[in-house]
């Protein structure tokens, strides 16, 4: 699996968790101290996610970071 595929799968996992909790991208962005557009770029696999951002996203979704990795 190449890096682009990994970004896409990670983004999809974040989006799936966010939607399952009924959160908008805007609400998640507020919870993690980011912007809606940055959350969109992460979920669409357009950018790599730093460990700090990933930790804040996992905390906001009340899950462990490892639960976001399906590869």
CB under 8 Å to 31, separation ≥6 — which residues?
Answer: 23, 56, 60
pLDDT tier for residue 51 given thresholds of 50, 70 and 90 = very high
Query: Which tens digit of pLDDT belongs to each residue from 4-48?
Result: 999 999 999 999 999 999 999 999 999 999 999 999 999 999 999
Could you give the domains of the chain?
A: 3-62 (1.10.260.40)
Can you say whether the dihedral through the CA atoms of 43, 7, 47, 52 is positive or negative? positive
pLDDT attached to residue 70: 81
- Number of CB atoms found within 10 A of residue 69's CB: 12
Q: Are 60 and 4 in contact (CB under 8 A)?
A: no
């Amino acid at each position: 699996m190449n890096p682009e595929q990994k970004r896409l799968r990670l983004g999809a996992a974040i989006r799936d968790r966010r939607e399952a909790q009924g959160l908008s991208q805007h609400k998640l962005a507020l919870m993690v101290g980011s912007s809606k557009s940055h959350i969109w770029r992460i979920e669409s696999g357009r950018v790599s996610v730093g460990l700090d951002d990933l930790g804040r996203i996992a905390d906001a979704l009340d899950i462990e970071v490892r639960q976001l990795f399906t590869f």
